[in-house]
Chain A
Amino acid sequence: MIKFGPGNLRIPKFEKPVYVVAGGLTDFRKKYPEKNSSELCTEALRMAVEENDLKVDPEYVRRRVNWCVYSQFADHFGDQLLAAAKIHDYLGFDPLGNIEVKTGGATGGSAVLAAAQAVASGYADCVPVVGWERMDEVSTKVGNSYIASAACKDFESELGWMYAAYYALMAQRYQYENNVPQETLAKIACKNHEYARHSPYSQNPGKYSVQDILDNDVVSDPLSFLECCVMSVGAAVLILADEKTAYELTDHPMKLSAICGGTHTLRTADRRHMPILLLPNETEETYKDYFTGRRHEWPGFSSFLASRMAAYLAYNMAGIKDPVEDFDLLETHDAFTISDIQTYEDIGLRPYGRGREFIESGDAFMEGRLPTNPSGGLIGSMHAVGATGIFQLVEVLWQMQGNWDKFHADPERWSRYGKKKPDDFRSLQVPGVKRACAISHAGTGSHVTCAIMEKP
């Protein structure tokens, strides 16, 4: 059992406030031979400095930068170790210092965390975070085995070489313990494929009914292909700065009021029972009847301690009392429908065992109390792993600045990627977002970050 000592749950703090200045993306594709990784990163950086209404010209931004953070999940995929050195060179940032961050699927979130730490400490005052992944050099089956290399290679990877299978094991147990029908999971997939239809950046948009999702080919039961994230090529860039620099560059920076990380064992198998770590909107009373029926342990196979830990720290750091009330927008790491519903509970949108209500009540939809993944998420839009956590925060930034339409609705932007804006396009701008949250997640919950952005 994990027992916390007095230092373990210290709430992190920034010595200086951290701001988000600008963001940029490429589109995301299953295969992207037209551009190499350096070109993709440059394209995302140029969008950040050229299209975010900055008060200064791109060359000035280049001269303001004093530290860079790079975010790429797997050297296997790009077949290039020290790729960050190459990207850094091609972006023209030599000889400034840089660091490359790797924490699996949460690499993007962790990279933003590392950049925030640099700004908050005063080590740097203007830091681009550059993330990418190139997952098209190998077949999908080989790609799945590369990803499964991020499971325990001695005791687990050989059992399927496929992450969807490891999530399927959790799905079966979660559904058994909490009586969640497959239709509820399918609704998450429908929502995110649908939202992806309105994004020119998205790789896997689609109009599907719940029945379409249920009838889809199963990868590892109960998860079907349409309930699993895509494998993508693409890049994302987010620029962080301290307060003075942020307002020098833009009139509309957003404040990164918290970004915190948690972890748990790489193998789900090793997650022993412990008392539930309570969020500000929960008490002992919330869980007095939890360990009944088929539920005997926490976090076990049904919950992510890493997500709970990240949310615990970030909520306390940013003063969040009730996430559904306090947030106006949420981006989750919907790698699989099951992990999304588990995350709803870990981050306190519903108590443990009742995550289904967040989707079934309509809360998670555009019209609901907390619109979730209007970006299309990992199921609908992209999962170019190193770029993913950054992509989420770029979308959050644009939403908070009221710029969602600017970056999604212009037909020119669709034609830029060889696409046609759909005739039934609709704006997914969430009105008046004051505070938003983004969750970046690795493995079967090995690393998770929770970021909170708010209007200054």
Chain B
Amino acid sequence: MAIELNGTTAEILGEDPLVIKNRKDWYHIHSYGGWGKFFQGLLEKKLLATRCTNSACGENRLWLPPRCECPDCWHEMAWVEAPTVGTIFTHSVVLYPGAPFRASTPCPLISVEIEGVCTKLMSYLKEGKPEMGMPIKAVFNTEKPTNTILDLAWVPA
């Protein structure tokens, strides 16, 4: 039986040198693993962080992004609801994002400082002009969720 090609071609873009166009079109099936709770929390308008369960550990503040194990002592972390208010630690308005960016531009990115949290979560300001130290509150995209970190955003408090 003769082998037949499936009919797709690699389009020629140039002859010298020979340059062809290879199509890539597929999905990655990505698991958030133990961090999934955080993203499920966003759908319930909750900001879920983690805290080390080891009373002897030197770090008792919250981690956001959450971690399943404590990097300081390798003990398990417990899930805790973090405050949904904070302040802008730094900001930048993105004008030329990379190809898969799902939000409109210009888009103000922010790093958020939250009391009791030892990290500064990266996010974006949905409304208003970002300024250093500006009080902000979390808003959650639950209507048509992207199921990514973009479901969390902030607006002036």
Contact = CB atoms under 8 A, between A and B. Distances in A.
Contacts of A160: 94, 97-98, 101, 107, 109
A1 B59 contact: yes
Given A173-B89, A270-B119, A142 B98 contact: yes
B149 A159 contact: yes
Interface residues of A, number: 45
A81 interface: no
Contacts of A222: 92
B122 interface: yes
Contact of B150 (A3, A139, A159, A272): A159
B62 to A, nearest CB: 12
Given A158-B150, A165-B109, A267 B58 contact: no
Interface stretch (B2-10, B14-22, B74-82, B137-145): B14-22
A142 B40 CA distance: 29
A165 B103 CA distance: 14
Contact of A158 (B63, B118, B148): B148
Nearest to B95: A218
B91 A172 contact: yes
A162 interface: yes
Interface in A156-188: 156, 158-162, 164-166, 168-173, 176
A220 B98 contact: no
Contacts of A33: 14, 17, 19
A3 B63 CA distance: 18
Contact of B122 (A148, A153, A156, A171): A156
A169 B122 contact: yes
A141 B118 contact: no
A289 interface: no
A154 B90 CA distance: 20
Contact of B96 (A162, A166, A171, A268): A162
A153 B148 CA distance: 10
A146 to B, nearest CB: 8
B98 A145 contact: yes
B96 A219 contact: yes
A3 B107 CA distance: 37
Given A155-B65, A155-B122, A272-B119, A172 B149 contact: no
A269 interface: yes
A169 B98 contact: no
Contacts of A144: 96-99
A285 B136 CA distance: 38
Interface residues of B, number: 40
Given A159-B149, A269-B120, A301-B111, A220 B94 contact: yes
Interface string A221-247: 111000000000000000000000000
A90 to B, nearest CB: 16
A162 B94 CA distance: 9
B27 interface: no
Nearest to B35: A154
A267 B90 CA distance: 14
Given A168-B92, A169-B90, A162 B122 contact: no
Interface of B: 14, 17, 19, 22, 30, 32, 35, 58-59, 63, 65, 89-102, 107, 109, 111, 118-124, 132, 146, 148-150
Given A1-B58, A139-B99, 20 more contacts: A1-B59, A141-B99, A145-B100, A154-B65, A158-B148, A159-B109, A159-B150, A161-B97, A162-B101, A165-B94, A168-B92, A217-B95, A218-B95, A220-B93, A221-B92, A223-B92, A267-B119, A267-B122, A268-B111, A270-B65
19 contacts: A33-B19, A141-B98, A145-B101, A154-B149, A155-B122, A159-B123, A161-B101, A162-B97, A165-B94, A169-B122, A170-B90, A172-B92, A217-B95, A217-B96, A219-B96, A221-B95, A222-B92, A269-B119, A270-B65
